[in-house]
Amino acid sequence: MPSPASTEQVAFRIARADDIPRMAELMAAAHLPPLFIEEHLDGFVAADRAGELIACGGIEMYEDCAVIRSVVVDESGRGLGLGGRLAEMLMANARAAGAADLYLFTAEALPFWQHYGFAEVTFKEWKNAPRASWQYQFLSQNRDVVPDVHTMWRKA
């Protein structure tokens, strides 16, 4: 019998509209903004374990750049490789969608993203296209409100 922490029965899939409330709940619990999910639903991936959505993450495309967002694993599923699988999957999806550059924002997961080849960059180093993202718009103009945020980049 698999332990409750087993990842054997975790299934990754494209997110659906009826996943939005649970994905928003996961994001809020991890202090990530549960915003503009519906508008970017086509870039979201979800992971189910025993019928429960326990992880999700998404990409938003801006011309040939992708912003990876809202990568979160429920606390009960952390440390088992799910976040890494999500990160790899989202990077592959971004490449398939034509991304040349990948960007993201993070507060606490900087070492996690470094593990996947991302480097810290400044707001000024962002290419123009992904500056249209809602996260860039808000965070670049409210640096004092969210002082601990890091912006990260890697080649796709």
Ligand X SMILES: CC(C)(COP(=O)(O)OP(=O)(O)OC[C@H]1O[C@@H](n2cnc3c(N)ncnc32)[C@H](O)[C@@H]1OP(=O)(O)O)[C@@H](O)C(=O)NCCC(=O)NCCS
| Residues found near ligand X in the complex (CB under 6 A) | 30, 32, 71-73, 78-84, 104, 106, 108-109, 111-112, 115
User: Would you say 58 and 133 are in contact if contact means Cβ atoms under 8 Å apart?
Assistant: no
Q: How far is the CB of 94 from ligand X (least distance, A)?
A: 14
DSSP strands (E only) in the chain? 10-14, 44-49, 52-62, 65-73, 101-106, 119-121, 150-155
Cα 15 off chain centre by:
13
- DSSP H helices, 76-127, are 82-96, 110-115
Does residue 70 contact residue 32 with C-beta atoms inside 8 Å? Answer: yes
CB of 105 to ligand X, least distance (A): 6
Shortest Cβ 121–ligand X spacing (Å): 14
Helix (H, G, I), strand (E, B) or coil at 40: helix
41 versus 110: smaller Cβ distance to ligand X = 110
CB of 34 to ligand X, least distance (A): 12
* Cβ-proximal residues to 6 (8 Å cutoff; 6+ apart), any chain: none
- Residue nearest to ligand X as judged by C-beta position: 83
